[in-house]
């Protein structure tokens, strides 16, 4: 028997009370809580290892550099990249997309080229392409979603053409929970001569992502959604693409040789890592990947699918509640609106019972426009959630509705 209570006990924050109630944390799509192993890894790093990386010849700095680079290899294994050179440490998914847009996009795209962006993208995988549209005149083409919040491959076939240079798509929607068929999308895009950027901000904590099996060109994700600290994330890109791309930022560590006349850039992956990195974040990310690997994606899927099923069933019984995002393939996210209750009022009342959910457009305003709602309430699950959390959510919604209606 799997001891779920022991798993939950690894997360100290879950022992908190909020407004006199046990904390019921259901905002994992926003950021996940951290296990003790991650918290301790960061503490140990500052207590026993802190020195800048790639710079010192003294032991402390060399040990720090080793620990830092070991995590890069862990990330390489985590996404099954061919080489550690394909793993660039960034602040998060947002910085990863901006790096691709401003380095690859600005260098290799020209006016009239098309970037297909799905309608369910988080703003971080739409706005950088709109910025590039302003800068160099590319076209941003919307790949629409249907009433269930799904993308159609037939629609994609109709959009792809010889001007398409990139398809920018999330593997899992933060606002709807939809999981997209990345392998087929990549095959279709590649046949049309386009590259694919996958936003793995939501998917990487729920699904095993294999960049070689999927053959994605770019993948971005944020550590803080997979039990790691904030401020650290990764860009994966195929080595040939990274070799050809110009640096995104200039500064320390991304150079070999600098003079006023000429600068020679460092090799991969350092060419894209200007300045002192978030070393503690990287160390914490390594501990988070150990945590996920120990648990295993089979177990994660088992826990989260059960929670998704139970939450969907219980929430659907609430009168006037409409789930936004009813895709056939979904991750552990339930977004909903309830007749007669504004999402923000509802979330504020839930907080009185210690229930933390997000009420917002979830940085996916086009999704809200599509469903004609200003915002949704979103309950999103992590491995430590259990049925009691969902029961508390449902009970609290009933109480709130008694007040609001």
Catalytic residues: 363
Is 32 a binding residue for ligand C6P by CB under 6 A? The answer is no
Q: H-type helices in 114-268, by residue range?
A: 127-136, 153-159, 182-191, 211-214, 239-244
Q: H-type helices in 177-296, by residue range?
A: 182-191, 211-214, 239-244, 279-295
Nearer to ligand C6P by Cβ, of 234 and 401: the residue is 234
Which residue in 165, 358, 370, 392 binds ligand C6P (CB under 6 A)? 358
Local structure of 212: helix, strand or coil: helix
CB of 347 to ligand C6P, least distance (A): 13
Between CA 248 and CA 254 the distance in angstroms is: 10
H helix and E strand count, the chain: 15, 17
Question: Is the four-CA dihedral 118, 121, 123, 129 of positive or negative sign?
Answer: negative
Is 206 a binding residue for ligand C6P by CB under 6 A? The answer is no
Contact 270, 250 (CB under 8 A): no
Is 392 a binding residue for ligand C6P by CB under 6 A? The answer is no
Residue whose entry in the numeric block shows the structure tokens 């010192």: 56
Nearer to ligand C6P by Cβ, of 13 and 395: the residue is 13
Which residue in 30, 204, 278, 376 binds ligand C6P (CB under 6 A)? 30
Question: Considering only 88-96, 209-217, 291-299, 348-356, which stretch makes contact with ligand C6P by CB under 6 A?
Answer: 88-96
Local structure of 246: helix, strand or coil: coil
Q: Give the footprint of ligand C6P on residues 2-21 (CB under 6 A).
A: none
Is 34 a binding residue for ligand C6P by CB under 6 A? The answer is no
Nearer to ligand C6P by Cβ, of 49 and 94: the residue is 94
Is 94 a binding residue for ligand C6P by CB under 6 A? The answer is yes
End-to-end CA distance of the chain: 44
Full DSSP string of 314-325? HHHTSTTEEEE-
Which residue in 98, 170, 178, 335 binds ligand C6P (CB under 6 A)? 170
CB of 276 to ligand C6P, least distance (A): 20
Residues that bind ligand C6P (CB under 6 A): 29-30, 92-94, 122, 124, 170, 174, 199, 201-202, 222, 224, 358, 362-363
């Amino acid at each position: 028997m799997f001891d779920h209570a022991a798993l939950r006990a690894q997360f100290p924050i879950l022992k908190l009370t909020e407004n006199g109630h046990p904390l019921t944390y259901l905002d994992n799509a926003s950021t996940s809580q951290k296990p003790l192993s991650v918290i301790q890894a960061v503490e140990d790093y500052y207590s026993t290892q802190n020195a800048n990386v790639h710079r010192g010849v003294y032991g402390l700095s060399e040990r720090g550099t080793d620990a830092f680079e070991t995590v890069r290899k862990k990330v390489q294994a985590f996404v099954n990249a061919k080489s550690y050179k394909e793993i660039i440490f960034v602040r998060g998914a947002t910085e990863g997309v901006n790096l691709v847009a401003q380095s690859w996009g600005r260098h290799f795209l020209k006016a009239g080229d098309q970037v297909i962006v799905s309608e369910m993208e988080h703003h971080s995988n739409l706005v950088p392409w709109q910025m590039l549209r302003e800068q160099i005149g590319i076209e941003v083409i919307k790949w629409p979603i249907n009433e269930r919040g799904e993308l159609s491959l037939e629609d994609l076939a109709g959009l792809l053409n010889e001007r398409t240079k990139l398809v920018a798509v999330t593997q899992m929607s933060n606002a709807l929970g939809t999981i997209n068929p990345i392998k087929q999308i990549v095959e279709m895009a590649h046949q049309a001569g386009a590259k694919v950027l996958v936003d793995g901000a939501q998917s990487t904590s729920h699904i095993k992502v294999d960049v070689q099996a999927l053959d994605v060109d770019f993948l971005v994700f944020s550590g803080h959604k997979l039990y790691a600290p904030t401020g650290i994330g990764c860009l994966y890109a195929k080595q040939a693409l990274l070799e050809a791309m110009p640096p995104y930022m200039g500064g320390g560590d991304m150079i070999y040789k600098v003079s006023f006349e000429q600068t020679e850039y460092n090799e991969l992956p350092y060419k894209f890592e200007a300045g002192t990195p978030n070393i503690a974040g990287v160390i914490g990310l390594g501990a988070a990947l150990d945590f996920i690997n120990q648990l295993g994606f089979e177990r994660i899927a088992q826990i989260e699918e059960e929670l998704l099923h139970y939450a969907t069933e219980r929430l659907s019984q609430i009168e006037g509640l409409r789930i936004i995002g009813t895709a056939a393939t979904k991750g552990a996210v339930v977004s909903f609106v309830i007749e007669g209750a504004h999402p923000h009022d509802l979330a504020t009342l839930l907080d009185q019972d210690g229930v933390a959910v997000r009420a917002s457009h979830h940085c996916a305003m086009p999704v809200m426009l599509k469903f004609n709602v200003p915002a949704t309430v979103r309950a999103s699950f992590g491995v430590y959630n259990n049925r009691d959390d969902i029961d508390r959510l449902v009970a609290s919604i009933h109480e709130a509705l008694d007040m609001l209606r």
